[in-house]
């Protein structure tokens, strides 16, 4: 018999995990969203999945109820849903396990350290998953669910997940913002972001190979104040401020005797 999963949420993470679990041999019995249209959209992409917009309609027979909604809504969902016998898990990096206590005696976390956009392809098999659970048997079971998706399964309690979440913001969200700044600067002179693609990829490869600190290059590492000032003059005030602060932090981190 296929493991039965209920997906609570219909956003980016919920969509990717629903498809991944179905591809891994699980049955997505239901998809819940406050918007029935959103639930129906995701359910229609799955096999024999029922869309619902009322938590009282949750099946009581599922093995896993996966809450994949905005962090601020996790506890509200757990309090509103009927108590079930299956595992109730969330996918958040910042919400404590205890938030799920009202929903089940078996609670867990299944946190994927990855960025998800609904229509962007993600190789789930390469995504690291971090798990936590209310007891040893539940941890074993949620690990088993995680390993259906990826061999990269690790344990992290609520405190350690905060560290992982910070790392995700720094390494993904902030870096992506800088890429957006890059795209704007390039577009102003008629260039596409793709011209820096080889540089971006080489930077990541080198950082992974030798470590980010050893891989650092650029005018800040050379204490080239004149070049940095020229750059700042070409940027709008907000981006110039960020450029200045980041350059100063690079010089401080590497204990260089210079400052903008």
Domains identified in the chain and CATH numbers: 4-156 (3.40.50.720), 162-253 (1.10.1040.20)
Q: What is the structure's pLDDT at 189?
A: 97
Q: Angle formed by the axes of helices 36-44 and 12-23, to 10°?
A: 30
Q: What is the structure's pLDDT at 119?
A: 86
Count Cβ neighbours within 10 Å for each residue of 74-90 and write b for 16 or more, e otherwise. bbebbeebeebebbbbb
The CA distance from 82 to 78, in Å, is 8
Q: What is the structure's pLDDT at 102?
A: 97
Q: Check residue 104 and report its DSSP letter.
A: B
Q: What is the structure's pLDDT at 38?
A: 97
Query: For the chain, which ranges sit under pLDDT 50?
Result: none
- Are the C-beta atoms of 115 and 172 separated by less than 8 Å? yes
What's the pTM value of the predicted model, to 2 decimals? 0.90
Q: What is the structure's pLDDT at 1?
A: 78
Q: Angle formed by the axes of helices 225-233 and 237-253, to 10°?
A: 160
């Amino acid at each position: 018999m296929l493991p039965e999963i209920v997906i609570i949420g219909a956003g980016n993470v919920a969509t990717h995990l629903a498809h991944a679990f179905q591809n891994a041999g699980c049955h997505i019995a239901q998809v819940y969203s406050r918007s029935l249209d959103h639930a129906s959209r995701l359910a229609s992409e799955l096999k024999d999945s029922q869309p619902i917009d009322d938590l009282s309609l949750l099946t009581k027979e599922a093995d896993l109820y996966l809450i994949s909604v905005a962090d601020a809504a996790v506890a509200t969902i757990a309090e509103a849903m009927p108590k079930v016998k299956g595992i109730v898990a969330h996918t958040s990096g910042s919400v404590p396990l205890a938030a799920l206590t009202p929903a089940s005696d078996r609670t867990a976390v299944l946190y994927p350290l990855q960025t998800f956009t609904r229509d962007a392809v993600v190789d789930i098999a390469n995504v690291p998953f971090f798990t936590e659970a209310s007891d040893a048997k539940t941890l074993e079971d949620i690990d088993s669910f995680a390993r259906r998706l990826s061999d990269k399964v690790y344990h992290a309690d609520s405190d350690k997940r905060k560290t992982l979440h910070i790392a995700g913001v720094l390494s993904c969200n902030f870096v992506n913002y800088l890429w957006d700044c890059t795209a704007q600067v390039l577009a102003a002179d008629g260039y596409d972001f793709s011209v820096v693609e080889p540089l971006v990829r080489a930077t990541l490869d080198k950082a992974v190979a030798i470590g980010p600190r050893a891989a650092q290059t650029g005018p800040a590492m050379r204490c080239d104040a004149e070049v940095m000032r020229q750059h700042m003059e070409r940027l709008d005030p907000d981006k110039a401020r960020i450029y200045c602060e980041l350059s100063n932090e690079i010089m401080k981190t590497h204990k260089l005797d210079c400052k903008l």
